[in-house]
A and B are shown apart, each in its own frame.
Chain A
Amino acid sequence: MRAVHKRYLREFTLAMSAYVLLILLYGVLMPRTEGMLWRVVLAVLPLLPVVLVIRAIVRVIRDQDELERRIDLEAIAIAAMSTGFGYFSFGFLLNADIGLKIAPASMAIWVMPCLFASYGVAKLLVVRRYRSHE
């Protein structure tokens, strides 16, 4: 593994570990917390490691080689369009009032996981274009 990817793995793992810990803290403390200020603090805390994940992704994209960067940027473009289109379409279906019941908070929270998941799938597809079958 190249140094740039080792660094990414280290930064990503640390940030995701912090995220998991803070989400557990959120789950345990939120039902017992009444004060508005503390509820905001608990809700916002898990987002800090997510910012670090985004930073790690930006750094690895910036520092990897030109083909790796091209693959990642193509995959991110596809993922952004797919997620946007998916949410846009789902919004139309919700607006049509056809019996779909989704909590607004769930809708918002799932944007980022959908983006990451579609990025992963898109990357698998994009990599195939540059891979030789010799």
Chain B
Amino acid sequence: MNNHVRELRGEQGWSQADLADRLDVSRQTINAIETGKYDPSLPLAFKIAHLFGRPIESIFLPGEE
């Protein structure tokens, strides 16, 4: 799965640690999501979408299988 989390975070001027604090997860988790090493659960993906005020499908995109 691909995502736009890094771009959206950059637009807000937040560091990975800032975003991690806002989502109550570790910075390691944000890094793993941004680099595509880890796909978040549905509840966390919705939390991210809610934080950025965007629909979930505009942030997370299906990747190549």
Which residues of A are in contact with B by a Cβ distance under 8 Å?
2, 64-68, 70, 129-132, 134
Give chain A residues whose Cβ lies under 8 Å from the Cβ of B40.
66
CA distance A73 to B38 in the complex (A): 15
Q: Does B28 lie within 8 Å of A68, measured CB to CB? A: yes
Q: Does A129 lie within 8 Å of B37, measured CB to CB? A: yes
A67, A129, A131: the one contacting B26 at CB < 8 Å is: A67
With an 8 Å Cβ cutoff, the count of chain B residues facing the other chain is: 14
Q: Does B26 lie within 8 Å of A68, measured CB to CB? A: yes
Nearest Cβ on chain A to B14's Cβ, whole angstroms? 17
Q: Does B12 lie at the interface of the complex (its beta carbon under 8 Å from any beta carbon of A)? A: no
Q: Does A65 lie within 8 Å of B24, measured CB to CB? A: yes
Q: Does B29 lie within 8 Å of A67, measured CB to CB? A: yes
CA distance A129 to B26 in the complex (A): 16
The digit string for B42-56, where 1 denotes a CB below 8 A from any CB of A, is 001000000000000
Residue on B nearest A3 in the bound complex, by CB: B24
CA distance A72 to B41 in the complex (A): 17
CA distance A88 to B16 in the complex (A): 45
Give chain B residues whose Cβ lies under 8 Å from the Cβ of A2.
26
Q: Does B26 lie within 8 Å of A65, measured CB to CB? A: yes
A64, A65, A129, A132: the one contacting B31 at CB < 8 Å is: A132
